[in-house]
Amino acid sequence: MSELSTNHLLGIKYLNSEDIELIFKTADQFKEVINRPIKKVPSLRDITIANLFFENSTRTKLSFELAEKRLSADVINFSAASSSVKKGETLIDTVNNILSMKVDMVVMRHPNAGAGVFLSQHVNAAIINAGDGAHEHPTQALLDCYSIKQKYGDLKGLNVVIVGDILHSRVALSNIFALQKLGANVKVCGPATLLPKHIESLGVGIEPNLIKALEWCDVANMLRVQNERMNMSFFPSTREYVLQYGLNKKILDALPKRITIMHPGPINRGVEITSDVADSKQSIILEQVENGVAIRMAAIYLLAAKIKHK
Amino acid sequence: MANRQLLIDSKKIHVILHRLANQLIEKHLNFSDTVLIGLQPRGIDLANRIKKILEEDYQIKNIPLGYLDITFFRDDFRRNEKPLAANQTHIEFLVENKRVVFIDDVLYTGRSIRAALTAIQSFGRPSGIELLTLIDRRFSRHLPIQPDYVGCQVDAINTEKVLVMWQEKDGEDAVYLVEK
């Protein structure tokens, strides 16, 4: 199979395991491309992509933009802070105005869950969800799983624990879907106030104790505590969070096996993980970032292939 | 496979490959500045064979051989019904100032070679590029591209396909003409 089953990348929920494998296989080739002396291919030279960021982002935006440029697409950037959205323009109006400038694909980050799905029903362009509220962040989950696959060869039967702020995390939900579709076992670990109700209905285990969770897993994905989304107190103090759920070198070294540490960034050093853990040999955080460009190139390339030539 | 006609048998392929190897030696002598690039997907089998003959029968060792995939450089992206799956590119050297020999099984429209000429630039600026092909479908060209080393010329119409089979992959060395 060499074609995605969908025309948009709105969430991992809408992909099947063949789609994910196809994205991985294509990313393998792009990873080779981005390590060449000249890191660019001309595939998308007649495609224009708009990056619409209604919410702040550094690495995701850079990673998408780099991926688009390495594919030779024309790129326009938009961020809500400096736009007419502030003047009261609706999402559909904003996007349709941009599309009338002949844009073929939209990469969108939005603070509201479902914004990507909504847009895909109302505008005529391929949509990539670069994060919608606390819902999904599909390319992050793809690059996380790709990084795990690169280290272990296969995800089947691997034990992966997602630690921290599951409630506010779109990375967690997308990762749960992706890991399960690829056959991994998933547990979540964090204070009860930061675990969504009914999370077990997704088929994930709950382990409130960090040490037990780490002893169980092969891979630990340490999420960031999202202070900006917390409009009330979910734990008494940062210090208390660190004591219960912060991962330090002492805990890591005391584990019976060498587990792999991941983090979607940006890291609050000294909160969810300490610096010596983040920079240790067991951490694949920087591989995640490199793989992010290859994965996004693959996703964009495969979606662009489905846009009919006019 | 219905309706296929044998064009070249294994004995003749053996002779052709040795002739091609000899022609390469005539031009490149000890291959000190030459690199071989097999084009994915089907050119790499021919490239491996040529390298093997040069090494085993003519004692020319250490010729750099790479595989180049041209999928992302094609000019028909989004013009086909289904996207083409990419293959692995594996080139562990730079081609800067090298004499590059592209190796492919069938030269047809010339569009793959056009893409390969662009793709190889990602690995440096070669001092020259040549093309070796087992089969030259000489009357089907879309672009002004000609091979430097030809195994055999085949005149086939557009509804026919020339299929090159290799012992390692397909169980026999043979070239067939197939109705599409």
Q: What pLDDT was estimated at residue B148?
A: 96
Weakest-pLDDT range from A85-99, A111-125, A155-169, A257-271 = A85-99
Which CATH number covers residue B55? 3.40.50.2020
Is B179 a domain residue?
Answer: no
Residue of A nearest to B84 (CA): A2
pLDDT of amino acid A156: 95
- Give the closest residue to A210 by CA, choosing from A261, A245, A161, A248: A245
* ipTM score over 0.90, yes or no: no
CB A192 within 8 A of CB A208: yes
pLDDT at position A226, please?
77
Calpha distance B4→A117 (Å, rounded): 50
Domain assignment present for residue B163? The answer is: no
- Between B74, B83, B94, which is nearest A302 by CB? B83
To the nearest whole percent, how much of chain A has pLDDT over 90?
76
Which three-class secondary structure string do you get for chain A?
CCCCCCCCECCHHHCCHHHHHHHHHHHHHHHHHCCCCCCCCCCCCCCEEEEEECCCCCHHHHHHHHHHHHCCCEEEEEEHHHCHHHHCCCHHHHHHHHHCCCCCEEEEEECCCCHHHHHHHHCCCEEEEEEECCCECHHHHHHHHHHHHHHHCCCCCCEEEEECCCCCCHHHHHHHHHHHHCCCEEEEECCHHHCCCCHHHHCCEECCCHHHHHHHCCEEEECCCCHHHCCCCCCCCHHHHHHHHCECHHHHHHCCCCCEEECCCCCCECCCECHHHHCCCCECHHHHHHHHHHHHHHHHHHHHCCCCCC
Query: Tell me: the pLDDT tens digits for A1-54?
Result: 588 999 999 999 999 999 999 999 999 999 999 999 899 999 999 999 999 999
Contact B78, A307 (CB under 8 A): yes
Q: Strands across the sheet with A260-262, in order?
A: A205-206, A185-189, A159-163, A219-222, A260-262
d(CA B6, CA A310): 41
Closest-CA distance, A298 to chain B, in angstroms, reads: 11
Q: Which two tokens stand for residue B171?
A: 């169980």
Using one digit for the tens of pLDDT, what is the confidence trace for B43-82?
A: 999 999 999 999 999 999 899 999 999 999 988 888 877 7
Whether residue B177 lies inside any domain: the answer is: no
User: Given this model, what pLDDT does residue B78 score?
Assistant: 81
Could you tell me if B73 lies within 8 Å of chain A, comparing CB atoms? Answer: yes
Q: For A305, which of B73, B77, B121 is closest by C-beta distance? A: B77
Residue B162 forms part of a structural domain: no
* Inter-CA distances, A296 with A107, A152, A276, A292, B79, Å: 11, 21, 29, 6, 22
Residues 6+ apart with CB under 8 A from A154: A183
Rg (CA), chain B: 16
Q: Percentage of chain B with pLDDT > 90?
A: 76
- A9 alpha carbon, distance to own chain's centre: 12
Does B41 contact A at CB distance below 8 Å?
A: no
Q: Which domain holds residue B13?
A: 9-157
| Confidence check: pLDDT of B16 > 60 | yes
* Amino acid letter for position A19: D
Answer whether B5 touches A (CB < 8 Å): no
CB A270: neighbour CB atoms within 10 A?
A: 13
A119: which 2 tokens?
């847009």
Can you tell me the distance from the alpha carbon of B151 to that of B172, in angstroms, rounded to the nearest whole number?
18
Tell me which amino acid residue B144 is.
P
> What is the set of domains in chain A, with CATH numbers?
12-136+290-304 (3.40.50.1370), 138-284 (3.40.50.1370)
Q: Do A43 and B77 touch (CB under 8 A)?
A: yes
Whether residue A37 and residue B86 make contact (CB cut-off 8 A), yes or no, is no
| Residue of A36, A38, A71 best to disrupt the B interface, most CBs of B under 10 A | A36
Residue B20 lies in a domain: yes
Q: Is the pLDDT of residue A185 over 90?
A: yes
Residue B3 or residue B104, greater confidence: B104
**Residue B4: inside a domain, yes or no?**
no
A130 within 8 A of A108, measured Cβ to Cβ: yes
B123 touches chain A (CB under 8 A): yes
Instruction: Tell me the backbone φ, ψ of residue A210, rounded to 5 degrees.
Output: -60, -45
| Nearest-angstrom CA–CA distance, A274 and A280 | 10
Smallest CA-to-CA distance from A223 within A137, A303, A294, A123 is with A137
For the stretch B101-149, pLDDT in tens is 999 999 999 999 999 999 999 999 999 999 999 999 988 899 999 999 9
Q: What is the domain count for chain B?
A: 1
Is B99 in a helix, a strand, or coil?
strand
Q: Provide mean pLDDT across the span A268-285.
A: 93
Contact B165, B175 (CB under 8 A): yes
B93 near A CB under 8 A: no
Instruction: Check residue A96 and give its pLDDT.
Output: 85
> What's the length of chain A?
310
Amino acid at the residue B173: D
Tell me if B45 sits within 8 A of B166, measured CB to CB.
yes
Residue B174 domain-assigned?
no
pLDDT for position A85: 67
- Does the residue B54 lie in any domain? yes
